[in-house]
A and B are shown apart, each in its own frame.
Chain A
């Protein structure tokens, strides 16, 4: 069968899934789902010839996954045997199903409305906020998600909250049926002058192949602030495609950190829209790859108006035969004078079979701007290793110190102490597993 045919089969498969799940529904939501499906059908699945999908192994994304239904029967789960912040309010989803027993919202302050999307879809479907991404979508997986989603969280923070709100969204995948897809859609709205610190964590505890197709739309109103740490700890056979859009109004700030720890294939599409003057956005990332894993970060920062600043730092550590892609695009529109944007991508290769494709793309249409970018890829500096050894530190300990040092530059962007410790521990676990294997 040719590629074209396989892809058509998969498109047909998802059309069939749509019929299975939603053909009985009608109303506004249903119409919007239909429209998204039609767009998905005409766009088709991506091919390696498309610029945005180059160098990526598309097979894990292009399989015919069965759409999982959030179900209470499947969510039995004895304990949260993984690292998270026990004292921070949390919503926990198991195989897409919101699980009240594992969640804890007791410490959530007033002024915050948190819901599971499944609940909203079941009780008041036409009120479900189905944002169109700013600038439309040319991403078939976002469209697929819009057509099929049945899980995720909705978080709304009223304006003028005096204290920052802390929240964790935890998505666990445990053994279910083979080859399922979880269509998760999160919506985050932060009112003017309010602040949110969000941890969005994915944990795979299964040997099955699965596909998390996640869309997260974030809106930060004037003078608001959004601080987010996405933790991608998928199971070794897990696949995640994540499409995040952050819209920022005037004088708002955002800082996003994506930490990719595990998963057969991780692809992140992250778009930051600086829509109001005086907005400041930061995108940071740390991706760790081992085995034959592939991590792909595609970021786009859109400076649409004057006087905004953005900073981006992505660092990768790749072992074994792992591969990474970093594609960082910055657009400065004609009106966006006095833009200040900088981007940096650094990669550390721990094996001579690891590979990185890095591609900065600057599109600058304004003249009074400051933009910089740089990228490096290299191995551990042998002189530095010797320096540490010459002080009595063993070769393995010296390597670990240096790898940690490389990662720390990104982790140190986390100002909250508990979150910093959580991430340091998760990264340490990754290194320790590496040492055990070596």
Chain B
């Protein structure tokens, strides 16, 4: 469903992504691991359409269309979702109202009927239970005063409410306790389907113990240098990234 080809991206004239190739098919779960600063969030931001990135070469195709030409809201309506590495606080905007506005914007764009308040309330109550957040979080401003783990669960709440076709989880597992990690993993596993793809960015093998990844990719300095199965995650956890880097001139 998404096809990334030879993607080069600059931030303020500095090349961050240096030729990414990645293809995710419906039903697949891909994971990306890689050092801090290697370009993982840059990739997810470019996929979701954030400002400030210049694509200098390459392409992203979404269900046969040029994704890079679409506005961020249109990408969301087309089924792309990113769980933010750093979810943003939106003062004064009620979390439930935000979710309802987002869901109805997407439904409208797809030609579905918008949900009224009653129907939405019924829906959101079941969803909020699934991520084990108290209902009071719905009545607070978006992410305001949420703890790190609560913010991540709120991202998953949005994911399972909006039911995207492709969900990108940018370090959603970072900073979570064991129980919260399981909630996130369940969120993903319950929503896996033959029609939905996942891209999970992580630093840790532990979340991959819960998720059956089809492929694991290693990103170094803006490139995917290696792809493989579950064993790759174990090896990275044990040995780090050094063995994947270009050998320094032999002594």
Contact = CB atoms under 8 A, between A and B. Distances in A.
B162 A392 contact: yes
Contacts of B75: 390
Contact of A406 (B72, B91, B105, B109): B91
B82 interface: yes
Contact of A392 (B76, B93, B141): B76
Contacts of B72: 386, 389-390
Contacts of B81: 390-391
Q: Which 10 A-B pairs have the closest CB atoms?
A: A405-B92, A392-B76, A391-B102, A405-B93, A389-B72, A392-B106, A387-B88, A408-B92, A392-B105, A389-B73
A358 interface: no
A382 B88 CA distance: 10
Interface stretch (B43-51, B61-69, B207-215, B233-241): B43-51
Given A401-B101, A405-B141, A392 B92 contact: no
B87 interface: yes
B93 A401 contact: yes
A51 interface: no
B46 to A, nearest CB: 12
B90 interface: yes
B77 interface: yes
Most interface-central of B72, B84, B105, B109 (chain A CB within 10 A)? B72
Contacts of B82: 390
B158 interface: yes
Most interface-central of B49, B91, B106 (chain A CB within 10 A)? B91
Most interface-central of A389, A394, A397, A402 (chain B CB within 10 A)? A389
A392 B102 CA distance: 6
A274 B197 CA distance: 63
Interface in B74-128: 75-77, 81-82, 84, 87-93, 98, 101-103, 105-106, 109
Interface residues of A, number: 24
A408 B91 CA distance: 9
B84 A392 contact: no
Contacts of B135: none
A344 to B, nearest CB: 13
10 contacts: A383-B88, A387-B142, A388-B90, A389-B73, A390-B48, A390-B49, A391-B106, A391-B162, A394-B105, A397-B101
Contacts of B92: 402, 404-409
Interface residues of B, number: 31
Interface in A343-397: 381-384, 386-395, 397
A384 B90 CA distance: 6
Contacts of B49: 389-390
Given A388-B98, A391-B81, A402-B90, 18 more contacts: A383-B88, A384-B88, A384-B89, A386-B50, A386-B88, A390-B50, A390-B73, A390-B82, A391-B76, A392-B77, A392-B102, A392-B105, A392-B106, A393-B73, A397-B101, A398-B73, A404-B92, A405-B93
B61 to A, nearest CB: 19
A401 B98 CA distance: 8
Nearest to A411: B92
A403 to B, nearest CB: 9
Interface in B187-223: none
Contacts of A397: 101, 105
A381 B73 contact: no
B73 A395 contact: yes
